[in-house]
Chain A
Amino acid sequence: MEQLRELVPWVYFIAAITFIFGLKGLSGPTTAQMGNRVAAAGMLAAVIATFLEQQVAAAWILVLPAIAIGTVIGFAGARRVPMTAMPQMVAIFNGAGGGAAALVSMLEYLRATSAGSASVGEVIAILLGLMIGAVSFSGSVVAFGKLQGLIDAKAFKYAGQQLVTGGLFAGMLVFALALIADAAGIISAPTGLALGLVGLLALAFGVALVMPIGGADMPVVISLLNAYTGLAVAMAGFSIGNQMLIVAGTLVGASGTILTRLMSKAMNRSLTNVLFGAFGAATATTAGAKTDDGRTFREVSAEDAAILLGYAQSVIIVPGYGLAVAQAQHNVRELADLLEARGIEVRYAIHPVAGRMPGHMNVLLAEANVPYEKLFDMEQINEDFQRADVALVIGANDVTNPAARKDTTSPIYGMPILNVDQAQNIIVIKRSMKPGFAGIDNELYLDPKTGMLFGDAKEAVGRVVAELKKAA
């Protein structure tokens, strides 16, 4: 037993290697699944090895039921969530990790102080782990609520918001500094109370941080919180002196930061703008003015749309979030098959932030067996819109708004968009004229070339498919 226990750090070492290779694998399409499984195997080995530690084995009656409960919840959640709800699922799993890191930090603080062995460095790591973990937990819960529709997805704003958020942050820091001063022997603070307050203020700060951010920016927020949790785990690794935790947490912190930056870049927003910009508020002023300039939209029937599509040579489908929520990917596939049977070229134009996260739309279309070669990135296909007979926009809005190109006062000005407006004809399937997540009107809908087909994406595409079948 004693000798076996000496192997534990080596198992951790190997697990850390599997995490590096796992991440590496996840960044390539052919190796991704293998990468994920390699990392999972490393994780399993590390958990089993941990049971060789005396204090863990002795506590089996506490930890085994906890593992069982966590496994059931995690497994059921992961298996049953529809692919469209994935972003919020990732958010909630991430929140769980952040919460665990915060609790581990708390426990380690209480243990170290009761043993009288807490060094200043350790206390700093503990407090960072607690604060970052708690912010990640409450922030992820809010992100989940917004995406799931439990909380209003709009940016939540009130007077003095920055003051409140800043106050929470400052309060959290004050109590954290008091605890550090206590560890250094400068002052003697009521540590239990201060620790609880740091945790509570961090939770409140996480809520205050995410509430003012609109639903459209949630993926960036989730990605950022994912990086935060990584950092919190690394800090927990520092405080309990476990290198594997430092490696794994830091890997995620670093890669999560890069991913977050890529996402904000795709939306042409800086991270600070996402976090502190008044996206929802600035748009209210421009929203009303635009629709009242006399132009109106043109509504088309499913039959009109079917004729237009059926006699085209080249069709570009622009899928968006509306397609995802309506679960219309299979119907769209059917429509594409029908058109292709008529010898029409059908391609898909995928905006980097189509769906809810980069790559989310690709996952959904892959689920519907749309061939990979038909999916084109924005840069690959933007030139081709002017040669396309019909651009079929399904539940996408802001990523097609020409205002991003022309209107310097628009809040989305500068965001790269799909050049849908250059197609010969445009059909937009949409539930209503309501603006999208950015809360602004889309002048594409007022374009004389554009026909609006109102309805739920799945049902509307179904109607077009039925009309096409009739015509054939």
Chain B
Amino acid sequence: MSNEVLLGAYVFMLAIWVGNEVISKVPTTLHTPLMSGANAIHGIIIVGALLVATALPGPLGTVLGFLAVVLGTINVVGGFVVTDRMLQMFKARPRPAKPAEKK
């Protein structure tokens, strides 16, 4: 097994740990936006799609590459925009007009 795959395995392991740590305490209210936000983040596949879009010469490769970039872009753009829209609703709510009150 090459060193690069091994390095990837280390990164993989650490990212699992980080993913667990970062997420474990989330109020229920935010579960839906969080799922949507995480959904946008895996849209990073668009970079992979760009990098291999022209890896294979010929019509088959071109079609596959084109489709991969389209799908990846839908994931990224749709994911971030819909998450932002959801979160906008939490923010748009006027704050209780009692600044003096202690929490």
Q: Which residues of A contact B (CB under 8 A)?
A: 12, 15, 19-20, 22-24, 26-29, 32-33, 35-37, 39-40, 43, 46-47, 50-51, 53, 55-56, 58-59, 62-63, 65-67, 69-71, 73-75, 77-79, 81, 83, 86-87, 89-90, 92-94, 96-97, 99-101, 103-104, 106-108, 110-111, 114, 119, 121-122, 125, 222-223, 226, 229-230, 232-234, 236-238, 240-256, 258-259, 262-263, 266, 350, 352, 357-360, 362-363, 366-367, 369, 371-373, 375, 377
Contact of A236 among B30, B37, B48, B82 (CB under 8 A): B48
The residue on B at minimum CB distance from A378 is: B28
Is the pair B50, A63 in contact by a Cβ cutoff of 8 Å? yes
Q: In whole Å, how far is A330's beta carbon from the nearest beta carbon of chain B? A: 13
Is the pair B71, A107 in contact by a Cβ cutoff of 8 Å? no
A-B pairs with lowest CB-CB distance, top 5? A70-B73, A254-B19, A74-B78, A74-B77, A250-B15
Query: Please, could you name 12 A-B residue pairs with CB atoms under 8 Å apart, sorted by A?
Result: A63-B53, A97-B79, A100-B46, A107-B55, A230-B38, A240-B51, A243-B8, A259-B26, A263-B31, A362-B29, A363-B90, A369-B94
Taken together as a complex, chains A and B put the C-alpha atoms of A201 and B74 apart, in Å, by: 24
Contact of B76 among A43, A122, A362, A363 (CB under 8 A): A43
Given A39-B40, A244-B47, A255-B23, are A62 and B65 also a contact pair (CB < 8 Å)?
A: yes
Q: In whole Å, how far is A120's beta carbon from the nearest beta carbon of chain B? A: 8
Given A39-B80, A70-B70, A234-B12, are A90 and B35 also a contact pair (CB < 8 Å)?
A: yes
Is the pair A37, B84 in contact by a Cβ cutoff of 8 Å? yes
Is the pair B33, A248 in contact by a Cβ cutoff of 8 Å? no
Is the pair A100, B30 in contact by a Cβ cutoff of 8 Å? no
Interface majority SS (helix, strand, loop, mixed), chain A: helix
Is the pair A47, B28 in contact by a Cβ cutoff of 8 Å? no
Taken together as a complex, chains A and B put the C-alpha atoms of A368 and B3 apart, in Å, by: 55
Taken together as a complex, chains A and B put the C-alpha atoms of A360 and B61 apart, in Å, by: 40
Is the pair A50, B47 in contact by a Cβ cutoff of 8 Å? yes
Taken together as a complex, chains A and B put the C-alpha atoms of A246 and B53 apart, in Å, by: 19
Q: Which of B25, B31, B84, B94: most chain A CB closer than 10 A?
A: B31
Q: Is B100 an interface residue (CB 8 A)?
A: no
Taken together as a complex, chains A and B put the C-alpha atoms of A93 and B80 apart, in Å, by: 10
Is the pair B48, A101 in contact by a Cβ cutoff of 8 Å? yes
List of B residues within 8 angstroms of A81 by Cβ: 82
Is the pair A104, B43 in contact by a Cβ cutoff of 8 Å? no
Contact of B87 among A32, A77, A232, A237 (CB under 8 A): A32
Taken together as a complex, chains A and B put the C-alpha atoms of A252 and B70 apart, in Å, by: 21
Q: In whole Å, how far is B34's beta carbon from the nearest beta carbon of chain A? A: 5
Is the pair A100, B77 in contact by a Cβ cutoff of 8 Å? no
Contact of A104 among B27, B39, B49, B74 (CB under 8 A): B49
Is the pair B50, A50 in contact by a Cβ cutoff of 8 Å? yes
Is the pair B45, A233 in contact by a Cβ cutoff of 8 Å? yes
Contact of B68 among A92, A100, A247, A262 (CB under 8 A): A100
The residue on A at minimum CB distance from B77 is: A74
Is the pair B30, A23 in contact by a Cβ cutoff of 8 Å? no
Q: Which of A47, A63, A242: most chain B CB closer than 10 A?
A: A63
Task: Give 5 A-B pairs besides A23-B38, A100-B68, A363-B86 with Cβ atoms closer than 8 angstroms.
Answer: A62-B65, A67-B73, A78-B79, A86-B82, A96-B71
Is the pair B31, A259 in contact by a Cβ cutoff of 8 Å? yes
Is the pair A244, B44 in contact by a Cβ cutoff of 8 Å? yes
Q: In whole Å, how far is B90's beta carbon from the nearest beta carbon of chain A? A: 5
Is the pair B78, A93 in contact by a Cβ cutoff of 8 Å? yes
Residues 85-103 of B, flagged 1 when their CB comes within 8 A of A and 0 if not, give 1111111111010000000
The residue on B at minimum CB distance from A377 is: B28
Is the pair B50, A86 in contact by a Cβ cutoff of 8 Å? no
Q: In whole Å, how far is A64's beta carbon from the nearest beta carbon of chain B? A: 9
Given A107-B55, A250-B12, A258-B24, are A43 and B48 also a contact pair (CB < 8 Å)?
A: no
List of B residues within 8 angstroms of A90 by Cβ: 35-36, 39, 79, 82
Q: Which of B15, B86, B87: most chain A CB closer than 10 A?
A: B15
Is the pair A36, B5 in contact by a Cβ cutoff of 8 Å? no
Taken together as a complex, chains A and B put the C-alpha atoms of A142 and B60 apart, in Å, by: 26
Is the pair B26, A27 in contact by a Cβ cutoff of 8 Å? yes
Contact of A107 among B26, B68, B84 (CB under 8 A): B68
Contact of A101 among B32, B45, B64, B76 (CB under 8 A): B45
Contact of A250 among B19, B31, B84, B86 (CB under 8 A): B19
Contact of B72 among A20, A32, A100, A373 (CB under 8 A): A100
Contact of A32 among B1, B30, B65 (CB under 8 A): B30
Taken together as a complex, chains A and B put the C-alpha atoms of A238 and B76 apart, in Å, by: 20
Is the pair A121, B5 in contact by a Cβ cutoff of 8 Å? yes
Is the pair A77, B52 in contact by a Cβ cutoff of 8 Å? no
Given A74-B75, A242-B51, A250-B15, are A33 and B87 also a contact pair (CB < 8 Å)?
A: yes
Is the pair B73, A108 in contact by a Cβ cutoff of 8 Å? no
List of A residues within 8 angstroms of B92 by Cβ: 366, 369
Taken together as a complex, chains A and B put the C-alpha atoms of A96 and B75 apart, in Å, by: 6
List of A residues within 8 angstroms of B20 by Cβ: 254-255, 258
Residues 5-19 of B, flagged 1 when their CB comes within 8 A of A and 0 if not, give 101100110011111
Is the pair B34, A27 in contact by a Cβ cutoff of 8 Å? yes
List of B residues within 8 angstroms of A106 by Cβ: 64
